Amino acid sequence: MVSISRIHHVMETMIGICSLTANLTLLYLILTKSQFRVKAYKRILLVTCLVDLFYTIIVFVGQPTILADHGYHYCQVNGFFSNRWAMFDYICCGLYCTSIHSNCVCVITMFIYRYHTVCGQNGVGKIRHMWLVFVLAIFWCMLQSADAFWVYCSGQNPELRKLGLEILDRYGWEYDPNYPPFPTMSYATDAKNILHHTFYLTTLTVGYTIIIWCQSQIMTFLNQHGKSIHASTQRMHAEVNRAMLALAITPSISLIMPVFVVVLALAMSATLGPMGAFLSMCMSAITLANPLTVIYFVKPYRRAIVGFLTCGKYHGGASVESSQKSGGQTRVGTTNSVTNPDLSEVA
């Protein structure tokens, strides 16, 4: 029988190594290659990168996966130190839920911060106490962490352990009975199930509503004042805008869809064995997709990566032939392209 846990461990390890490399590379690019005069944009990308890096470390160390059967949900830690210490497994599962939650909340908060930076300077929807937004975001993530830790710890009982062992044995999931019990989450219809899902539902519903509203306000403002903004600044806004939108859309593909499948399986009391490992890897893919998305959409970062891969042979069109007519004569010259454009603030 093929060991699902072994396949899951190898795949999660590969995703973790690639994600750590991508996030550390992005962190280096943000700190050294950012030429934004709107310093808030550098802060936005830096914060999202740090949150993704935290998520990556948790996935790499813990490697949690989802098992479901008989209306119950089991979060099996499959990392390098799994089943060595029960409290470590509980903490890993709690931090895993928190890191997923923090990823969504961070993008929402950064959209609000970007709206405040772009529109607030000109008296449009100014947020006087922006720091309150960050405090509320941190408090919300801490509340989610406490909720996840409580749910995992309260889901321990001999009946769930016995049922979980049957599921592990059925799908070839390796487990050493000499180690402490693995963490389980009871998803029977009770108060903690409703509470746990309410956190995610609230974040996704309210959060994406805020994202859509902030984005519409930013686009309206830029359309109204676009003529007074320098061309290089317009390109900067466009690059960051595409990167932020991609960071908001990625969780809807790699996070919301797997969670929906899990909840549907639980509601139907179905068994989620091999698919659980696949869904967990889809959720872990966020840690790799986010840094690659930012590197691709932000041109200075993309140029730096291409230049490194081509050993400095790529210059991004360092010279452009331009012809200008002056006094009836045609003059052909060479002008250097702007590799570090003057990204001035919004006029």
pLDDT per residue, tens digit, the chain (347 aa), is: 467 777 888 888 999 999 999 999 999 998 888 777 667 888 888 999 999 999 999 989 888 887 766 666 677 788 877 767 777 777 888 788 888 888 888 888 888 888 888 776 554 445 667 778 888 888 887 887 777 777 766 666 667 667 767 767 766 666 655 555 555 555 555 566 667 767 777 777 888 888 888 888 888 877 776 666 677 777 777 888 888 888 888 877 777 777 777 767 766 666 666 777 788 888 888 889 999 999 998 888 888 888 887 876 655 544 333 334 444 444 444 333 333 333 344 43
Residue 344 located in a structural domain: no
Give a yes or no: residue 341 inside a domain. Answer: no
Q: pTM here?
A: 0.75
How crowded is residue 57: how many other Cβ atoms within 10 Å of its Cβ? 17
Residue whose tokens read 């990392």: 79
Q: 345 in a domain, yes or no?
A: no
CATH at 110? 1.20.1070.10
The candidate with the shortest Cα–Cα distance to 106, out of 43, 57, 23, 195, is: 43
Residue 15 lies in a domain: yes
Inside any domain, residue 28: yes
How many domains does the chain fold into?
A: 1
Q: Is residue 156 part of a domain?
A: yes
| Residue 196 belongs to a domain | yes
| DSSP annotation of 166 | H
d(CA 67, CA 90): 16
Identify whether 346 is part of a domain. Answer: no
Domain that holds residue 269: 4-336
Model confidence over 113-122: pLDDT tens digits? 888 887 765 5
Q: What is the pLDDT of residues 267-286, one digit of tens each?
A: 666 666 677 778 888 888 88
- Fill in the DSSP letter of residue 203: H
According to DSSP, residue 272 is labeled B
Report the distance separating Cα 217 and Cα 224, nearest Å: 11
